[in-house]
Amino acid sequence: MRFFLLFCVTLFCAQPSLGRDYPEFRLLKMDGAHVKWGAAEYGAGAEVSYALVDAARDFPDARNCRSVGPVDPILAASGVDRNAFDAALVQAFGAWQSVSGIKFRPADDPQSADILIGSDLTAQGWAHADVKTETSDDGIVRIERSLVCLSPAKLWKIGFGANPDAQDIRYTLTHEIGHAIGLNHASPQGQVMSFTYGERFIELQAGDIEGAHRLYGPAKDTMIATIPDAAPVN
Ligand SMILES: [Zn+2]
């Protein structure tokens, strides 16, 4: 059983070593294997449950988000409405769901949710994700559990602009969920999965979508509906 990682989304984040030509997307690699939810097969869809942490929980086997609490104190400190946070979370999951074969649903039992979201009680950086996989070998391995945590030591906001010292929750959640489903940092900027926080776009970019397609295939329910020919009127 392997577990791990991951990164922050912040201007001050350590820059990963990338090649000269920056890729538009990169898949997470843990012990030499790409990781994903669902079948261990590129392009295979998956259904993943999520929940907000409702009480402090420790994850001693995690690299990041080892201690996670409810998001409410973060929101109160930043003056962010809980309903607005919930809407941003749905939009963040929806961004990935609308373009690829991964589907998200609220967990019936938050204790056993696939992806847990909360505040980072260790309060390092801005935000992190942690991915735990079932097994590790030289192929693609299934993700067993992911964590997404936001720092209570930072200022948060909903939407771009306004306070330049605050970071947008929806953008940050979309980025961290990208890690939680198996994507790594891409180019320094230009993608949601870039490691530099920016406020130039909120939607997934071409590289983000390409990465999601590589892991989960394209969305199956976004085919253009065809309108059947009208019956002749006699
Ligand atoms: Zn990141």
Write the pLDDT tens digit of every residue in 149-172.
999 999 999 999 989 999 999 999
What separation in Å is there between the alpha carbon of 72 and the centre of ligand 1? Answer: 22
- At residue 180, the pLDDT reads 98
Q: How far apart are CA 130 and CA 147, in angstroms?
A: 5
What separation in Å is there between the alpha carbon of 126 and the centre of ligand 1? Answer: 10
Q: Cα dihedral angle (205, 25, 97, 144), rounded to 10 degrees? A: -160
The domain limits of the chain are: 2-12+23-216
- At residue 6, the pLDDT reads 43
Q: Write out residues in the chain with pLDDT < 50, as ranges.
A: 1-20, 223-230, 232, 234
Indicate the burial class of 177 (C-beta count within 10 angstroms; 0-12, 13-18, 19 or more): buried
- At residue 137, the pLDDT reads 63
What separation in Å is there between the alpha carbon of 99 and the centre of ligand 1? Answer: 20
Environment of ion ligand 1 (residues, CB < 5 A) = 7, 9
Which of the following CATH numbers is that of domain 2-12+23-216: 3.40.50.2300, 3.40.390.10, 3.40.50.10110, 3.40.50.1260?
3.40.390.10
- At residue 139, the pLDDT reads 80
What separation in Å is there between the alpha carbon of 167 and the centre of ligand 1? Answer: 13
Q: How far apart are CA 160 and CA 64, in angstroms?
A: 26
What separation in Å is there between the alpha carbon of 192 and the centre of ligand 1? Answer: 9
Which one, of 225, 214, 224, lies nearest residue 102 by Cα? 214
What separation in Å is there between the alpha carbon of 233 and the centre of ligand 1? Answer: 58
